[in-house]
Homo-oligomer: A and B are copies of this chain.
Amino acid sequence: MSVDEQRRPARVKRLPREVRERQILDAAVRVFSEHGYHNASMDEISEVAGVSKPMIYAYLGHKEDLFAACIRREATLLVEAIAGGVRAEAPPDMQLWHGLRAFFRFVGEQRESWRVLHRQATSQGGPFSEELMGMRGRAINLVDALLVRSATSHGVPTKSTEAMAVALVGAGESLADWWLDHPDVPEKTVASWLMNLVWMGLGDLVDGTSWVPTPE
């Protein structure tokens, strides 16, 4: 099964290396996402990519290197999506809102990427943790920078903003994972739940006060 003929280019010899690498990585993300790292086979990745195994080895190395390259690429795309979603001129709540929307939009549109990034890579540990920790670190820095910009003028010490950024990223990861199993919830809804939790806080929610985006 699963030879995807449509993805096989007609004139394989002429494609520039970057196009070929993109094909390989696209195929690898799909296969790793579906079968997990251990059960994914280079044969299937080769078939889905329409690229021979020797060429995959030459371009991107063996399975472990290929998986690391997938994590690196998807993590970069995710962090860029979040950073691109934040509008620096907006008030802090709207900056966070746009960042959360961008995060959940990425997860919703790139479910395979998220599955590889979060579920597969986390469950492999070892050599891939470094790539993942790098991604988490960049996401935490983004949130931390937002908190520091909004909060330091009020005397909140920066170690607490780092810790809160860590907590917020963990909350987002956990909720994104839950969302994969509840795909009927709209992206905007899941983002607003997290926004309400971390911006309004449960105290306000218990009192019946919730956060809504300001009209733009």
Contacts and interface: CB of A to CB of B under 8 A. Distances in A.
A109 interface: no
A151 interface: yes
Interface string A173-216: 11101110010010000100110111111111111100100000
Contact of A202 (B147, B172, B173): B147
Contact of A159 (B159, B185, B194): B185
| Copy count, this protein chain | 2
Interface string A145-162: 001001100111001100
Interface residues of A, number: 52
A155 B208 contact: yes
A125 interface: yes
Nearest to A200: B201
A178 B163 contact: yes
A151 B123 CA distance: 35
Interface of A: 36, 92-93, 96, 122-126, 129, 147, 150-151, 154-156, 159-160, 163-164, 166-175, 177-179, 182, 185, 190, 193-194, 196-208, 211
